[in-house]
Structure 1
């Protein structure tokens, strides 16, 4: 996590050193939750290893996977984290997942005393926005097979760990359509 945050070149060594005492380790087994819908999220997780999926449940019970977080990335139920209201989403481990957890109160305390922490938090929020915009545009501009190929190119080692129904939902297609795409690509 220190290397990840250091990659933004915003925090001094002293500021980076403030993080370690506040980090806790959490291990999720496959299927366990980082946060469940209806609860308030007051933590940010750094994925050391494993895969998380963020999803919401429609009124008919269908689960829609809208985000997959791979290792060396941050995850949180962002709207709940910001507003302090109940989360409309759940975040679940798709594999055994090792997390480093940082509590919101600790982040706020560090940012109260550091302009650099505030810059980092703004930068992370901006990244979330850009990623969301990129996903929206990809649904509107790209075909499903193009989205799948991009995911396959970016994370080839992880794709086999994601169940077909979650991967299809993430891509905005049915599992049957994803099976056809996979078959076409293997020819």
Structure 2
């Protein structure tokens, strides 16, 4: 739980009483590899903070192909929808790539924290702004690069993910086939 508090404190100040309130509302959720944190079409009723493991965000295109949008690794807040304290029905899946541990808050508890702690919204807005900036930077680069460059950039930006995520997921994220990724990896060595 301290990892979550340390993370939040990077974006704003909290006193001991506010920290105690947050901790009193938190619980631990463990996901096994391939378990879903949330599924498309099913209402999300919690906010999470990933303390251990990797979660993959993916969807199915009109051809039924599974497409990886991005990966979430340790020390990232997983908000649900544009307003975290409201119910949300996603169009994507979040599934555990590895065994995962999360700190989770029910929507009701998150709403109570939001309504009780002055400045909580500002903290969450700063976190959200950082996430959006990271996601846009990741996707923007992928669009304009050839496959080999995309892979090399991925390896440079996310070295900790490369050995923890199956190559098929990396290929999907990069927008290439697994066989193309294998050729690229072979040519790079």
Q: TM-score, normalised by structure 1?
A: 0.87
Q: Deviations over 1:124-159 (max 9, x none)?
A: 222232123213321233333333223323432331
Aligned twin of 2:181: 178
Residue among 132, 153, 158 paired with 2:156 = 153
Quick check: 1:108 aligned with 2:114?
A: no
Quote the residue 1:32 is aligned against. Answer: 35
Shift of 1:10: 3.7
Give the Å deviation of 1:106.
1.6
How many correspondences in the alignment?
A: 186
> Given the alignment, which residue of 131, 135, 144 partners 1:132?
135
Contact 2:34 2:96 in 1 (8 A): yes
RMSD: 2.1
Distance 1:146 1:115, change over 3 A: farther
* Structure 2 residue 52 is the aligned partner of structure 1 residue 59: no
- The more displaced of 140-149 and 98-107 is 140-149
* 2:87 match: 84
State how far apart, in whole Å, the 1-side matches of 2:184 and 2:86 are.
39
Unaligned runs of 5+ in 2: none
Q: Note the C-alpha offset of 1:94.
A: 0.7
Could you tell me the TM-score, scaled by structure 2's length?
0.87
Asked if 1:75 is matched to 2:89, the reply is: no
* Pair 1:21-2:24 in alignment: yes
Residue pair 1:35, 1:77 contacting (<8 A) in 2 also: no
Cα gap change, 1:22/1:60 in structure 2, threshold over 3 Å: closer, same or farther? same
